[in-house]
Amino acid sequence: MIDWPLAELLPHAGDMILIDHVLAFDEETIHTRVTVRPGGLFNRADGSLPAWVGVELMAQSVAAYAGCRARQAGNPVALGFLLGTRKFECNVEHFPLGAELQIHAVRSLEDDNGMGVFECHLTGPQIHATARLNVFRPPQAENYLAQASQEARHD
């Protein structure tokens, strides 16, 4: 298991950090884990999580991958964006309270402009979900956000 605190790997804070642990990562992959607990931002009344939250768990795993790579290289963690997903499939409607979920993401494409594609799998007790995530990590995220905000004010 990776010892870096998740808050130092993800550009999220507090209750928005949904994954519990980074189990392993390398040049192309990351393995993370989460246990479904009650009282989270997205929990249903019975404590379970809707299956669509699986996309966010996958996205946070990809963000943790980027954070691990940044930490390993001695760089700060950079902001990234989930642009979309393709082929999200899940065999259940929700992840039950107490379920331990494993997320595995494999980088299939990443270019110098910050665009990336990851093949993701989420598994648990009688649970299997897959998706392809399209992500974007601008080389200078702060400048990118400032420029987008300025353009929005002028529209």
At 121, list the tokens: 């799998």
Q: Are 19 and 57 in contact (CB under 8 A)?
A: yes
**In percent, how much of the chain has pLDDT > 70?**
89
pLDDT (average), residues 116-134: 97
The domain locations on the chain are 6-154
pTM across the whole model = 0.88
CA-closest candidate to residue 118, choices 52, 69, 50, 61: 61
CA dihedral 55, 56, 61, 67 (to 10 degrees): 140
pLDDT tens digit string along 46-61?
Answer: 999 999 999 999 999 9
> 8-35: per-residue pLDDT in tens?
888 777 788 999 999 999 999 999 999 9
Whether the pLDDT of residue 144 is over 60: the answer is: no
Instruction: Provide the pLDDT confidence category of residue 5 given band limits of 50, 70 and 90.
Output: confident
Please say if the pLDDT value at position 145 is more than 60.
Answer: no
Element (H, E) at 54: helix 53-73
Class of domain 6-154 as given by CATH? alpha beta
